[in-house]
Amino acid sequence: MSTLKEVLRKKIDEHRPRTVKLIKECGDVSLGEVTIAQAIGGARGVKCLVTDISYLDPMEGIRFRGKTIPETFAALPKVPGSDYPYVEGFWYMLMTGDVPTMEQTLEVVEDWKKRSQVPEYVIDVLRAMPRDSHPMTMFSTAVLAMQRDSIFAKNYREGKFNKMTCWEDMYEDATNLMAKLAPIAAYIYRMKYKGDTHIDADPNLDMGGNFARMMGVDAPYDDVARMYFILHSDHESGNVSAHTTHLVASALSDAYYSYSAGLNGLAGPLHGLANQEVLGWTQDFMAKLGGEVPTKEQLEKALWDTLNSGQVIPGYGHAVLRKTDPRYSSQREFCLKTEGLKDYPLFKLVSMIYEVAPGVLQEHGKAKNPWPNVDAQSGVIQWYYGVTEYDFYTVLFGVGRAIGCLANITWDRALGYAIERPKSVTTAMLEDAAGIK
Ligand code: NMX
Ligand code: MLT
């Protein structure tokens, strides 16, 4: 058994009594009431999910297993010659809560390599889809197709379900899936946009390095990939992709069913598709100006035009955050320290939007958070390194988001979380409760 799985088993055994005690002895303790606005308005702020993998503070932003983004990057073992850590080491950290040693990290690197071969039938499924299908549709379909290989589903079918040990099957499925996602994403990219020519993985490279290679993009795109996947991994449990994955898994659906569903949520324009929308918006705007970087006045007018036509400013606002997303800041720092990128016209425009949009949104007076989120900054980096097909950007998000979602559903199984089933009420009941009928 791998060190990661061994450590995870120990952590699960230690954790279980805490959950059992909370339910048995403190189950009646209230975490707050639910208002009508929350019931109608997307359950905003209702505390009814539990995760220890990440926590989102509205002012500070995300912490992965208690660590801020800079602390995470500083703590994890780095790929030799690279500024960013192994994604595989980050997986170890999200799963167990421990920072792995280099040796433990390299064990995961080897484990993922062994599991990374994409089945031929998945390639067949992808190739059978119309080439103009959205890459997120292809990505989600590929994940769903692999459900036939689920170890959890097979053992369940054969009557081998055991509440105490079933997390192990989830862990195996999650790891098998995780190891294949980057190669599948790169395959979709090259099939759709690069004349259907493909590049084999190099057994000497880590996940980030191989992703860059299979995409056909030179260094430092390997570091961009590592940074991107880690930054997009998890954002506590209430966001649409994580919540959907958890919800579907709560019916004892396996990792493939669950994460395919999570990806379908990620594909929505208010969630992960916003990174594609940002680039579309920015590019259209620059095209109208003949490719020139606009003045602040021109930009302000374009932002108002967008708002006045009833659209949202993509990449701005957030359901929980009330300040600039540290994932935005982290990518901005990457741009500022990268020669060429820091003077790149598109980056200048993105920076100008950062100066102008919060004021416009504040004056508009609707968005509770006028500051940028992760999606406002990610596309420009991809564009700079030649990945200009912005339909593909949410797939990149989806590769990263899997790290958090799959770690979460492994723990869901381990802690025996119940099938999710909140209660609904009718509009008349709300009116009764409000005394307006
Ligand atoms: N531009 C214009 N209006 C906005 C924006 C924005 N960027 N953000 C929020 N609003 C509006 C929102 O549509 C709502 O209007 P109405 O009352 O007419 O329904 C009002 O402000 C209040 O919304 P909030 O409570 O501030 O935001 P909410 O929690 O409902 O939604 C988002 C959060 C992220 C969905 C929202 O801010 C948004 O649509 N942003 C643009 C899309 C985006 O960047 N999504 C990516 C989020 C990050 N991710 O990767 O998933
Ligand atoms: C995310 O990363 O999931 C987004 O920022 C949306 C969210 O947290 O609600």
Tell me which residue has its CA closest to atom 3 in ligand 2.
Answer: 239
Any atom of ligand 2 within 6 Å of the Cβ of 231: no
- Please state the atom number of ligand 2 nearest to the C-alpha of residue 236: 8
Q: Which ligand is nearest to the CA of 401?
A: 2
Q: How far apart are CA 8 and CA 406, in angstroms?
A: 14
Q: How far apart are CA 313 and CA 327, in angstroms?
A: 18
128-159 confidence digits (pLDDT tens): 999 999 999 999 999 999 999 999 999 999 99
Give the pair of three-digit tokens for residue 397.
């998000």
Taking the CA of residue 209 as centre, how many other CA atoms within 13 Å lie in the half-sphere pointing to its CB? 18
Instruction: Say which DSSP state 271 is in.
Output: T
Ligand 2 center–CA 54 separation, angstroms: 12
Tell me which residue has its CA closest to atom 28 in ligand 1.
Answer: 319
Tell me which residue has its CA closest to atom 12 in ligand 1.
Answer: 367
- Please state the atom number of ligand 1 nearest to the C-alpha of residue 42: 30
CATH number of 54-271+389-414: 1.10.580.10
Ligand 1 center–CA 270 separation, angstroms: 7
Sequential pLDDT tens for the chain (437 residues): 899 999 999 999 999 999 999 999 999 999 999 999 999 999 999 999 999 999 999 999 999 999 999 999 999 999 999 999 999 999 999 999 999 999 999 999 999 999 999 999 999 999 999 999 999 999 999 999 999 999 999 999 999 999 999 999 999 999 999 999 999 999 999 999 999 999 999 999 999 999 999 999 999 999 999 999 999 999 999 999 999 999 999 999 999 999 999 999 999 999 999 999 999 998 888 888 787 889 999 999 999 999 999 999 999 999 999 999 999 999 999 999 999 999 999 999 999 999 999 999 999 999 999 999 999 999 999 999 999 999 999 999 999 999 999 999 999 999 999 999 999 999 999 999 999 97
User: What is the ipTM score, two decimals?
Assistant: 0.99
Any atom of ligand 2 within 6 Å of the Cβ of 373: yes
Ligand 2 center–CA 53 separation, angstroms: 14
CA 250 to chain centre: 19
Q: How far apart are CA 223 and CA 209, in angstroms?
A: 8
CATH number of 274-384: 1.10.230.10
Give CA angle at 33 (27, 37), nearest 5°: 145
Any atom of ligand 2 within 6 Å of the Cβ of 401: no
The answer to whether 415 touches 16, Cβ cutoff 8 Å, is: yes
The answer to whether 241 touches 409, Cβ cutoff 8 Å, is: no
SS3 breakdown of the chain: % helix, strand, coil, rounded to 5?
Answer: 60, 5, 35
Whether 124 sits among the annotated catalytic residues: the reply is: no
Q: Which residue among the candidates 235, 243, 246, 318 is catalytic per the annotation? A: 318
| Mutational test site, ligand 1, from 263, 316, 353, max ligand atoms within 8 Å of CB | 316
| Mutational test site, ligand 2, from 46, 56, 374, 393, max ligand atoms within 8 Å of CB | 374
Give the global pTM: 0.97
Task: Give the DSSP letter string of 131-194.
Answer: TTS-HHHHHHHHHHHGGGG-HHHHHHHTT---TTTHHHHHHHHHHHHHHHHHHHHHHHHHHHHS
Q: Which residue among the candidates 169, 206, 325, 375 is catalytic per the annotation? A: 375
42-68 confidence digits (pLDDT tens): 999 999 999 999 999 999 999 999 999
| Cα pseudo-dihedral 57, 62, 64, 70, rounded to 10 | -120
Ligand 2 center–CA 75 separation, angstroms: 24
Ligand 2 center–CA 271 separation, angstroms: 7
| Cα pseudo-dihedral 34, 310, 303, 291, rounded to 10 | 130
Any atom of ligand 1 within 6 Å of the Cβ of 376: no
Whether 318 sits among the annotated catalytic residues: the reply is: yes
Tell me which residue has its CA closest to atom 45 in ligand 1.
Answer: 270
Burial class (CB in 10 A: 0-12, 13-18, 19+), 352: middle
Whether 271 sits among the annotated catalytic residues: the reply is: yes
Ligand 1 center–CA 316 separation, angstroms: 7
Give the pair of three-digit tokens for residue 94.
């999200």
89-98 confidence digits (pLDDT tens): 999 999 999 9
Q: Which residue among the candidates 222, 246, 271, 325 is catalytic per the annotation? A: 271
Q: Taking Cα atoms as reference points, which of 423, 412, 424 lies closest to residue 19?
A: 412
Tell me which residue has its CA closest to atom 48 in ligand 1.
Answer: 271
Task: Give the DSSP letter string of 400-429.
Answer: HHHHHHHHHHHHHHHTTPPPP------HHH
374-398 confidence digits (pLDDT tens): 999 999 999 999 999 999 999 999 9
- Please state the atom number of ligand 1 nearest to the C-alpha of residue 278: 44
Any atom of ligand 1 within 6 Å of the Cβ of 327: no
Q: How far apart are CA 349 and CA 14, in angstroms?
A: 50
The answer to whether 53 touches 411, Cβ cutoff 8 Å, is: yes
Any atom of ligand 2 within 6 Å of the Cβ of 378: no
Q: How far apart are CA 17 and CA 94, in angstroms?
A: 20
Q: What pLDDT sits at residue 286?
A: 84
- Domain spans of the chain, in order of start: 54-271+389-414, 274-384
Give helix 326-337 / helix 375-384 axis angle, nearest 10°: 30
Q: How far apart are CA 147 and CA 126, in angstroms?
A: 15
